[in-house]
């Protein structure tokens, strides 16, 4: 009795990495773009609020995320640039850009959590409003937008980690757009020996243009 051993089809083995590459690429693009959009949106919202008392009167003050810290918005733009640059480089360059993408997300998370309890922006606004540099804010309260910015940073961090893990399976820009790539050259058309300029060139070379 003969036993037949099943041999895995080579095509199925070859398509497995390509499927992983396509799925990870789609998830990374979605996470990176969504994370940057969420972070930029969150930095434009009110992060903290309070009141400043001047001559018996209370003035309400608010501070947006961009007033508290400019780090999340800047790193969101860096993350978007790194997400696009991943496709323009290969090998070690791709790993470096993927690491930059992940670090951008981690930096957003850290800056957002630090700004969630920051009151310096409101203190500066109180000093500017009252004209008293020693003025401070009372009834200080914080909103949830810093944590929304941190969530955007987590998405960018996830995109960077996916790029580090599966970036080698992702496509790159076409070689014809890369510097130093070999491009097909047009072949020069054969010169017509009957043309006057070709006859003169032959005479200059000492050749007989009428010879067979």
73 falls within a domain: yes
Does residue 105 register a pLDDT over 90? yes
Per-residue pLDDT band for 121 (boundaries 50, 70, 90) equals confident
Residue 1 lies in a domain: no
Domain-located, residue 164: yes
DSSP 176: G
Token code pair at residue 8: 């895995």
pLDDT at 2 over 90: no
pLDDT of residue 191: 58
End-to-end CA distance of the chain: 80
Question: How many domains are there within the chain?
Answer: 1
**Could you tell me which of 45, 48, 24 has the C-alpha nearest to residue 143?**
48
Question: Alpha helix (H) ranges present in 8-116?
Answer: 10-43, 65-68, 71-85, 91-115
Do 48 and 118 touch, CB atoms closer than 8 A?
yes
Tokens 């670090």 label which residue? 103
Tokens of 160: 């960077």
pLDDT: is 77 or 179 the higher one?
Answer: 77
CB 142, CB 116: distance < 8 Å: yes
Could you tell me the two tokens for 115? 């700004």
Q: How far is Cα of residue 97 from the mean position of the Cα atoms in its chain?
A: 9
- For 12-69, write each residue's pLDDT tens digit: 444 555 677 788 889 999 999 999 999 999 999 999 888 877 766 777 888 899 989 9
What CATH code is carried by the domain that includes residue 82? 1.20.140
81, part of any domain: yes
pLDDT at 193: 57
pLDDT in tens, 167-185: 888 877 654 444 544 555 5
Answer yes or no: is 199 within a domain.
no
* Mean pLDDT of all residues in 128-156: 84
Tabulate helix, strand, coil % of the chain (nearest 5): 60, 10, 30
Q: Is 140 helix (H, G, I), strand (E, B) or coil?
A: strand
Residue 108 lies in a domain: yes
Is residue 129 assigned to a domain? yes
Question: Residue 142 sits in which domain range?
Answer: 19-173
| pTM for the model | 0.71
Contact 122, 140 (CB under 8 A): yes
In a domain, 125, yes or no: yes
């Amino acid at each position: 009795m003969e036993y037949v051993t099943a041999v895995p089809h080579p095509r199925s083995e070859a398509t497995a990495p390509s499927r992983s590459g396509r799925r990870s690429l789609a998830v990374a693009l979605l996470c990176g773009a969504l994370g940057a959009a969420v972070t930029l949106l969150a930095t434009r919202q009110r992060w903290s609020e309070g009141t400043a008392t001047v001559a018996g009167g209370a003035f309400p003050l608010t501070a947006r995320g961009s007033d508290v810290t400019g780090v999340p918005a800047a790193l969101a733009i860096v993350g978007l640039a790194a997400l696009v640059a991943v496709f323009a480089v290969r090998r070690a360059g791709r790993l470096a850009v993927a690491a930059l993408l992940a670090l951008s997300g981690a930096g957003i998370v850290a800056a957002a959590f630090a700004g969630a309890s920051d009151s310096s922006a409101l203190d500066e606004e109180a000093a500017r409003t009252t004209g008293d540099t020693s003025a401070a804010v009372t009834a200080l309260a914080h909103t949830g937008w810093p944590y929304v910015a941190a969530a955007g940073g987590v998405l960018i961090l996830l995109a960077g980690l996916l790029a580090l893990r599966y970036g080698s399976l992702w496509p790159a820009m076409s070689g014809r757009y890369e510097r130093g790539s070999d491009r097909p050259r047009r072949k020069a058309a054969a010169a017509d020996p009957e043309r006057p300029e070709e006859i003169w060139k032959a005479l200059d070379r000492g050749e007989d243009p009428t010879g067979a």
